[in-house]
Amino acid sequence: MPRHLVAALVVASLAACRAGEPGDAPAAKGGADRPAATEVRAASFDPAAWRAPADSEIPTDSLGASIRRGLALLQHTPDSLPHYAPGRIACRNCHLDGGRNVDAAPLAGSHARFPKYMERTGATITLADRVNYCFTRSLAGRRLPVESREMSDILAYLAFISRGVPVGAKLPGAGGLVAMKDTLVGDTLRGASVFRGKCAACHGADGAGNPAIPPGVPALWGAKSYSVGASMAREERAATFIWHNMPFGAGKTLTPQEAFDVAAYVNAHARPDSPGKELDWPAGGAPNDVPYDTKSGHKAHRPPPVLPRTNADGAIVPRPPRAATL
C-alpha cells in the first residue's frame, strides 16, 4: 500500500473511528506539512492555553470533507436531517460557535471525554450515543443510525475540534454547562416580564422562534422545541445557559435572579415528551431540578405539560446491556 494511503488511513481512524464505509479508503493529499486532526501532545498539554482549531484549519482532503459535512449538520440540523430533527432547533443553537464556546456546553475536546460513565443513563456510553441523546432529547427528534455517514461526519467534526486534547484532560466548561455560583429559585411571574422585555423580540411572544431573524432564532417551547428530557428543560441548567449567553449578543447582562426567573417561565410551558425518561438516574441521585418523576424515587420539579411524541419510534437511545452479550 502506498505510504500516503497508510498515513491517511491512520489519520482517518484516529479522528473518527467510524469514518468511511468498508472499501471507502480516504484519498488524502500530502499530509506531512499539516497536523493530523487529532495529533496528541499529551506531555505539554495546558488546558488554559488550549484553543480549538478554527474552521479555516479544516484540512482539504477527504477527512476534511467529512469534517465540513459534520459542521454543516450541526449548523443546519433541521434542514439537513428533517426526519431526525423535526423541530425549530439545531445543535448550534445551544452549542454556540461551532461547539467552541466554553459557556455553552462546549463540544471541543468531547472526542477525548468518551466513552464515559453517564449517571443519567447509569452506564458507560460512547460519543455516538451522547450525540443521539441530544438528537432524541434536545432536538426532540430521532436517533441517528450509528453506522450512518452523517454520524461519522458529526464524529469527525467533534474529533477535529478536539485536536490536541489528551484523553482524560479537563478543559474549562467541559462536559456540561458551567454552573452559576448560587442556585436560586425562579419566579414565573417575574420571568414573564423579563421574557416580554428581553427575549420576545427574537424568540416570539409564543416562544416559537423566528427563522426570518438571522441566524435563525430557535423555539423555546411548544412542539418544535427541546423535550422535557433535555438538560435545558431543567431550571438550573437553563438559567445557567441563559445567564451566560442570552439575550443573544448581550450575555452576562441579566442578574442571576432574572436568569432563574426567565428560565422558570420558559420551562413552565408545554414541550415534547421524552419517552423512557422515568428510567433516568437508575441508581438515584437525580439533580433537584429534573422536571419529571423517576422510578428511582426523584419527585418532579415543576413538571411542564407534555405534548405527545409523534416520533416515539426513534425517540429512545437503548441503554447498553449490563452483561456481556458476546
Binding mask 223-262 for ligand HEC (x = CB under 6 A): --xx---xxx----xx--xx---xxxx------------x
Nearer to ligand HEC, 67 or 174 (CB): 174
Asked if 278 and 232 count as a contact pair (C-beta separation under 8 A), the reply is no
Cα distance between residue 50 and residue 27, in whole Å: 30
Nearer to ligand HEC, 5 or 205 (CB): 205
Closest distance of CB 290 from ligand HEC, Å: 11
Closest distance of CB 214 from ligand HEC, Å: 8
| Rg (alpha carbons) of the chain, rounded to whole number | 20
> Interior CA angle at 280 toward 149 and 136, to 5°?
30
Cα distance between residue 74 and residue 90, in whole Å: 7
Size of the site for ligand HEC (CB under 6 A): 50
Closest distance of CB 213 from ligand HEC, Å: 6
Nearer to ligand HEC, 28 or 84 (CB): 84
- Joined grid coordinates for residue 205: 411572544
Does 154 contact ligand HEC by CB under 6 A?
A: yes
Phi, psi of 271 (to 5 degrees): -150, 165
Asked if 194 and 254 count as a contact pair (C-beta separation under 8 A), the reply is yes
Nearer to ligand HEC, 92 or 301 (CB): 92
Nearer to ligand HEC, 5 or 185 (CB): 185
Selected binder of ligand HEC within 71, 125, 217, 268 (CB under 6 A): 217
- Give the count of beta carbons closer than 10 Å to the beta carbon of residue 98: 20
Q: Would you call 32 helix, strand, or coil by DSSP?
A: coil
CB-based contacts of 196, cutoff 8 Å, min separation 6? 205
Nearer to ligand HEC, 26 or 218 (CB): 218
Stretch binding ligand HEC (CB under 6 A), from 36-44, 45-53, 171-179, 272-280:
171-179
What's the one-letter identity of residue 125? I
Does 152 contact ligand HEC by CB under 6 A?
A: no
> DSSP letter at 20?
S
Does 125 contact ligand HEC by CB under 6 A?
A: no
Does 134 contact ligand HEC by CB under 6 A?
A: yes
Cα distance between residue 202 and residue 25, in whole Å: 45
Of 143, 127, 8, give the one whose Cα is nearest residue 64. 8
Closest distance of CB 292 from ligand HEC, Å: 15
Binding mask 93-112 for ligand HEC (x = CB under 6 A): xxxx--------x-x--x--
Cis upstream peptide for 272 (omega within 30°): no
Backbone dihedral region for residue 64 (phi beyond 0: left; psi -120 to 50: alpha; all else: beta): alpha
Nearer to ligand HEC, 11 or 263 (CB): 263
- Residues near ligand HEC (CB under 6 A) are 74, 77, 89, 91-96, 105, 107, 110, 113, 127, 130-131, 134-135, 138-139, 154, 174-177, 198-199, 201-203, 215, 217-220, 225-226, 230-232, 237-238, 241-242, 246-249, 262, 266
